[in-house]
Structure 1
Amino acid sequence: MMDFFIVFASSLLAATVAPFASEVVLTAVLSRQPDAAVLLWALASVGNTLGSVVNWWLGKYLLHYQDRRWFPVKPVQLARAQHWFNRFGVWTLLLGWLPVVGDPLTFIAGVMRVRLALFVTLVFIGKAGRYLTVIWFAERLLL
């Protein structure tokens, strides 16, 4: 039972600004519990999507603090990200699983007030696909 919690928690943390490699945790747990691949996939996908919802929420509700010194995004960076998001659209959320750009992308989606249901749907599709790929490779290469 603890393995399942660890996969969920590591996936959730990995989607926030905390640097964490949930794929390593998922693969390690999968090697101990190969019969639970579907459950592990679901836990990792949902956990990682919920972590992205945290980023969305931060983007949506913390924007009114953007003039504060401690605000982590500079005005120029924010404007550039908003321009990029407007140019390429909401479909970029399918790439929310990508390293480096995925977390800021989900934050900007909150700033841009993307509807939560649409956000969750698109982000989940991308993240579920990534974890499906991780499990597929892990089963073929390591197990």
Structure 2
Amino acid sequence: MEIWMQELMAALLAALALPKVGLSAIFIIALVSATLLPMGSEPAVFGLVKFNPEMFWPAVLVATAGNTVGGAISWWMGLGAERLYERAAHHPPARARALQWLERFGAKACLLSWLPLVGDPLCAVAGWLRLPFWPCVFYMAIGKFGRYFVMTAALLWVFP
């Protein structure tokens, strides 16, 4: 079983090798890393841009798009989880302090979706709370674009 998993990972890495597929690999990596799976997309974006500086804007924009789509998927997963929870249990909804904070700020709280550890679950909780989908996606995109722009620019020009 362990050898099978190693072969699968090697095949996946070969298929997503940056020189072969470039921006599509960045999109997929950014999308998957925006879900609740523990993965980071910044090294892939930086690697592509480090070897191809002319790809700075396309890489940042594609990574932002992939990460935003992943955040939208997390939003829908949160909405689905809330619906299942409400069907299974007949009780008044409990509101923790963090949930009240999110409800107060609404979709604008999704600006923080770029934060490590809490950003991806934040998108799912936004869906759970039924915050409006398109405003959430808009704020997710702004936050995620800012992260990719700042981190990639800093790694390229501040810490070369």
Considering the TM-score relative to the shorter chain, is it more than 0.5? yes
TM-score under structure 1 length normalisation: 0.85
1:81 touches 1:108 (CA, 8 Å); kept in 2?
A: no
Instruction: Identify the match of residue 27 of structure 1 among 23, 32, 46.
Output: 46
Distance 1:35 1:89 in 2: 37
Give the CA deviation at 1:66. Answer: 2.5
1:94 touches 1:123 (CA, 8 Å); kept in 2?
A: yes
TM-score under structure 2 length normalisation: 0.76
Q: Alpha-carbon deviations, 1:2-42, whole Å to 9, x = none?
A: 01111111111111011111001111111121111110011
Distance 1:52 1:77 in 2: 24
Instruction: Identify the match of residue 69 of structure 2 among 40, 50, 54.
Output: 50
Q: Does 1:3 align with 2:22?
A: yes
Distance 2:51 2:94 in 1: 43
* Map 1:1-143 → 2, pairs under 5 A: 2-66=21-85, 79-141=96-158, 143=160
Letter in 2 for 1:2: V
Distance 2:29 2:112 in 1: 19
Give the CA deviation at 1:84. Answer: 3.1
Question: Where does structure 2 lack aligned partners over 5 or more consecutive residues?
Answer: 1-19
Task: Choose 1 or 2 for highest CA Rg.
Answer: 2
Question: Where does structure 1 lack aligned partners over 5 or more consecutive residues?
Answer: 70-75
Letter in 2 for 1:36: M
Distance 1:98 1:16 in 2: 13
Q: Percent identity?
A: 32
Q: For this pair of structures, how many residues does the alignment match?
A: 137
